[in-house]
Amino acid sequence: MDPIIASGLVSVGKNFIQGISNTLTSDSEVDSLGKSSFSDELNSASATPVEKTSMNAKALHASLLEDPQIASFADRNKDCQVFLEKRADGSVKFLSSSGETLVLAKESKSCANALNYFDLCVQEEKNLTSLRPDAVIFDVA
């Protein structure tokens, strides 16, 4: 197929889909989502400090495994390698080598503990891996 014709067809399809999606979303619904600038969103994300704790990494790890959501995730991924990552929005993500993920909301106590655990591991240079330089290993076994 001619590349010019192919790109034209893709463009027509894109315009068609955008037209349909724009008619499905009402103006009041779009207005209700709020209009905030990128800088406002960035300031709100960076303005929520993580409460530091006096617990060591082992105690934080144990407290994280007491959370029912994390415990369930750990049980399902016993034979897998699990990583803990910080996310840009202030939340944390558990990622298993099986492909399963678990994201903790930034408002939760478990998220604060996970962020403290992550920071302690990086500070103490423990549970780091070259496979995922932006993550620490979270032992679930």
pLDDT at 83: 95
Identify whether the C-beta of residue 135 lies closer than 8 Å to the C-beta of residue 127: no
Scored b (16 or more CB within 10 A) or e, 11-32 reads eeeeeeeeeeeeeeeeeeeeee
Answering whether pTM is above 0.85, one says: no
- What's the rounded Cα separation, in Å, for the pair 53 and 42? 25
* Residues 128 and 85 occupy one common structural domain: yes
* Residues 76 and 131 occupy one common structural domain: yes
* Residues 130 and 66 occupy one common structural domain: yes
Give the count of domains, the chain.
2
* Residues 64 and 121 occupy one common structural domain: yes
Q: What is the dihedral of CA 27, 42, 18, 15, to 10 degrees?
A: 130
Identify the band that residue 76 occupies on the pLDDT scale cut at 50, 70 and 90.
very high
Q: From residue 99, how far is each of 52, 83, 134 by CA, in Å? A: 30, 11, 17
In 10 A of CB 79, how many CB atoms? Answer: 10
- Is 60 exceeded by the pLDDT of residue 12? yes
* Residues 89 and 133 occupy one common structural domain: yes
* Residues 62 and 27 occupy one common structural domain: no
- What's the rounded Cα separation, in Å, for the pair 114 and 127? 14
pLDDT at 50: 58
pLDDT at 80: 92
Domain containing residue 98: 57-137
Amino acid at 139: D
